[in-house]
Chain A
Amino acid sequence: MDEQKRAQFKKMLREIKNLPTLPGIVAKLGRMAEDPDTTTEQMGRVISKDHILASKLLKLVNSAFYGFPQRISSLNSAIILLGFNVIKSLIISASIFEVMEAQDVELWEHSLGCAVVCNVLARHLGVKDPEEISTAGLIHDIGKVAIKMELPKEYEMITELSLEKKISRLEAEREILGLDHAEVGSWLAKSWNLPNKLVEPIACHHDPQLAREEQMASAIVHFGNIMIRGLGYGHAGDIWVPPLNNKAWKLLDLAPIDIDPLLQEIEEKLWEVKGFSLDIQTEPEGMA
């Protein structure tokens, strides 16, 4: 791979034109959150001005990805219960979901499934803010969407190369572009000003040992991706379960006895999200 070519793809991907920018509301809420005088009601009012976003938010909050035991029916209680960081990552998920769902249904299912597994793992491990880890799982492959939208010709070449040489999509990306979807995804996440808790797991989901600050979150998304591929739920470009990183595995500290109950819980939650869509027009009961 010559450096020049890599630099050229890098430039094209960094200039991403076809992916929508995050709604301005995210920046506005960010500013509000920094102001100690901001009240929950004020924040709720800002979100509810965007009816579609508000109903999507409530639909997501009440879906199995986040696994809250009770139905949350108002934005204010959602903000109080979940805190601002989670609401922010939910708004981001709601926006990104839209792009992914329209682009590639099977990748979308893989991402949904990964979010579910990450949530189950995070809760099992007693990690703080499991909702953020679910969100990281949800968008870990966003780089694939970007490559597909920005470099459609190369995307096809990657698919062909991976089939022809029987190599993983990741290896084919590195061969053709000189970079991979994890790296692309992390640029995107950074350009959206997402917190490091989301950026690092995206960047490191194939190489969790490279995570510097968010080692646990990266390890969870790494293993979440492995589990959902092992279960064959959705499709992420090739069929193979990727290798497990030993350092991440040690960090997770799972015992053989944990696996069956985890699989059971994951299966139940996957049933619940089967066919989940943010399209609120077709499912008006999702609106609260």
Chain B
Amino acid sequence: MQRILLAQTAPGMILAKEIFNPDGMVLCGAGTTLTPSLIERLASLDVVDVTVEGHPVIIEGEKTLHEELREIDLRFHRVEDIAPLMYLKKRIQAKMVASRGSGTVTK
């Protein structure tokens, strides 16, 4: 799951979350595949960003999944003897893996 600007979308991407208008009404449901005309219509409705499945847009300077996981390890380095925090670490890492889509890494 990745949140990207509408300008970064491309036809074929699948919405991971519904898009709401400012009044809280659903414009477009989760699971919808983006098409050129749909992207154009969303732009005309001033939608700024959308959440799509997988991790289709590579952002310059973005850390790799491996780097992210290592940093999480490092942050939790001093509390390795505290069981609830080790569980929290595992879940944060699992979430990070899931958010980058399956790709080459499996859960």
A contacts, CB < 8 Å to B: 168, 226-227, 229-232, 239-244, 249, 254, 256, 259-260, 263-264, 267, 271
Sample of 7 A–B contacts (CB below 8 Å): A230-B75, A231-B92, A241-B75, A244-B85, A249-B84, A260-B95, A267-B95
Contacts of A168 in B (CB 8 A): 78
Chain B contacts with A in 86-100, Cβ cutoff 8 A = 87-89, 91-92, 95
CB distance from A283 to the nearest CB of B (A): 13
Q: Which residues of B contact A264 (CB under 8 A)?
A: 95
Q: Given A243-B82, A271-B3, are A232 and B75 neighbors across the interface (CB < 8 Å)?
A: yes
Number of A-B contacts (CB under 8 A): 50
Q: Are B91 and A260 in contact (CB under 8 A)?
A: yes
Q: Which residues of B contact A (CB under 8 A)?
A: 3, 71-72, 74-79, 82, 84-85, 87-89, 91-92, 95
Most buried by A among B76, B84, B91: B84
Q: Which of B71, B75, B79, B92 meets A263, CB within 8 Å?
A: B92
- In the complex, besides A226-B88, A267-B95, 16 extra interface pairs with C-beta distance below 8 angstroms are A168-B78, A229-B75, A230-B72, A230-B88, A230-B92, A231-B92, A232-B75, A239-B75, A240-B79, A241-B85, A243-B79, A244-B82, A254-B84, A256-B87, A263-B91, A263-B95
- With the chains together, A227 CA to B89 CA distance in Å? 9
Is B78's CB under 8 angstroms from A240's CB?
yes
Q: How far is the CB of A57 from chain B (nearest CB, A)?
A: 20
